[in-house]
Amino acid sequence: MKKTPANEGLRRTNDPPFLILTSLASGPKHGHALAKDIATFAGVELGPGALYGAITRLEERGLIEPLDGDDRRRPYRITAAGSASLTSAVADMRRLVDVGTARLRLATGGLS
Amino acid sequence: MKRRPYDATRLLKWYPPSWRARYGDEFVAYVDDTLDGTGPSARFVFSIALGAVRERGHASGLLGEQPMPDVQSRAGSLLVLCAWSVFILAGATFSKQSEHFARAMPAGSSSPARVGFEIVAWCGALGMILVLIGACGALPSFVTFLRSGGWTVARRRVLHALTLTVLALGAIVPLTLWSHHLSTVQRNGGDGTYSFAFITWAIVIALTLVSWDRVFLQCVARMTLSPRVLRTETLLATAVSLLMVAITVGAAFWWVDVASNAPWFLQGASYGSSSSPLTPNLIITLALMMVAACAGAFGVSRIVRSWRRA
């Protein structure tokens, strides 16, 4: 399967950019809210370096954008390009999940 | 007693200035929210340190795809230059360690040690010539940079580097005169005072190289280089990187052959005595050469990637 620039770097489920895009898909969030949301839905605790490194790269690539925040906290929202990238990454994963599920059924005679 | 809130701005200092200007305030707010008045764990601090190193790599053009391929190739060339500085140090140590080795080897043979030594010597000289050619090529851009206000930016670091250079060069004559009054054994660790003075001088030399590297990094990042000059510099950097690999291989050849035929020479022991060929000086020298050669290869990989993108 050819890797497209749109989903580059979004291959693994614990990949910070993928997790951040998934979190922002439900609405804008600032750094701390993002980290808490990701810990809740994925069980992954992103360190501050990984979180803000991913935010920096995602913003550079135009996949997320900052909003005017209150105080020092700046929320981010997913852009149209970010949504397309996430859709592509999720579709890739779904294909893998489908293949994995089918092959597991074949090997075990059905999943419980 | 109430605990003082943790000052997250201290951690922010590790990040490059451009990143701090853009993300600093919100990052400190995020750290404050996360820590909620408690101190950071070692894992937390490590994550920030790693993130800061990564951002510095991105800011310098050494990591990630840069919007301008020129930034990437310039960063790769500078990394090769820094690696070459390490080679100068390692080469000086190797030169001291291999002094008069031919007398210890079996006469009349063209041993691998001699071949290895020749490789180190010739590649080292060629590398110095290439670095000088690169410096001459960048000189007009450097002068333009200084004339357009660059001196104000670089002055402090240049003066610091010059002071260290004067110190390092000024110490050569008294050290040489002193060494001529000592025996070989005294020169190689037998005289504690001389050894201390020599190591201090070596540290000053290392600091001098580091400070000139800092000057080059600061200036070259701000200089305007024409595509032709940049192309020449990257080609020279690639050649220097290949020479570093050759020097490392040559030094390893030399070590293996001397270790097989005259291990006592490596320890400075008397002829024919039983000695281990694993001397700390040579281990450190070869390790430095390997690390620098790898750094140079990484720099070249950045250059090649930028050529592909251009």
Question: Tens of pLDDT along B20-38?
Answer: 999 988 998 898 888 887 8
Is residue A51 a contact partner of residue A16, using CB atoms and an 8 Å limit? yes
Q: What are phi and psi of B139, to 5 degrees?
A: -60, -50
Using a CB–CB cutoff of 8 Å, tell me whether A47 touches chain B: yes
Asked whether residue A88 is assigned to any structural domain, the reply reads yes
DSSP sequence for A66-108? E---STT---EEE-HHHHHHHHHHHHHHHHHHHHHHHHHHHHH
Partners of residue A72 in chain B, C-beta under 8 Å: 25-26, 28-29
DSSP sequence for B173-199? HHHHHHHHTS-HHIIIII-HHHHHHHH
Asked whether residue A3 is assigned to any structural domain, the reply reads no
Closest of B24, B25, B51 to residue A16, by C-alpha: B51
Using a CB–CB cutoff of 8 Å, tell me whether A51 touches chain B: yes
Task: Among A20, A56, A67, A76, pick the best mutation site for testing chain B contact (most B Cβ within 10 A).
Answer: A56
Using a CB–CB cutoff of 8 Å, tell me whether A57 touches chain B: yes
Number of domains observed in the structure of chain A: 1
Residue A19 has pLDDT above 90, yes or no: yes
**Please, which residues have CB within 8 angstroms of residue B87's CB and are 6 or more apart in sequence?**
B124, B127, B244, B247, B288, B289, B292
**Please, which residues have CB within 8 angstroms of residue A72's CB and are 6 or more apart in sequence?**
B25, B26, B28, B29
Partners of residue B41 in chain A, C-beta under 8 Å: none
Residue in B with minimal Cα distance to A68: B26
Element (H, E) at A65: strand A64-66
Domain extent, residue A28, equals 12-108
Beta bridge partners of A76: A29, A66
Is residue B197 a contact partner of residue B178, using CB atoms and an 8 Å limit? yes
Is residue B205 a contact partner of residue B92, using CB atoms and an 8 Å limit? yes
Q: What is the pLDDT along chain B (310 residues), one digit of tens a residue?
A: 455 566 777 888 889 988 999 998 899 889 888 888 788 888 988 999 999 999 998 888 888 777 677 788 888 888 898 899 899 889 888 888 887 777 777 666 568 888 889 999 999 999 999 999 998 988 898 888 888 888 888 889 999 999 999 999 998 888 888 888 877 777 766 788 888 888 898 889 889 988 988 888 888 878 888 888 888 988 999 999 999 999 999 999 888 888 887 777 777 666 666 677 777 788 889 999 999 999 999 999 888 888 777 6
Asked whether residue A4 is assigned to any structural domain, the reply reads no
Q: Do B26 and A51 touch (CB under 8 A)?
A: no
By the 10 Å C-beta count (0-12 exposed, 13-18 middle, 19+ buried), A26 is classed as: exposed
Q: Do B64 and A50 touch (CB under 8 A)?
A: no
Give the CATH number, domain containing residue A71: 1.10.10.10
Using a CB–CB cutoff of 8 Å, tell me whether B36 touches chain A: no
Q: Do B29 and A32 touch (CB under 8 A)?
A: yes
By the 10 Å C-beta count (0-12 exposed, 13-18 middle, 19+ buried), A49 is classed as: buried
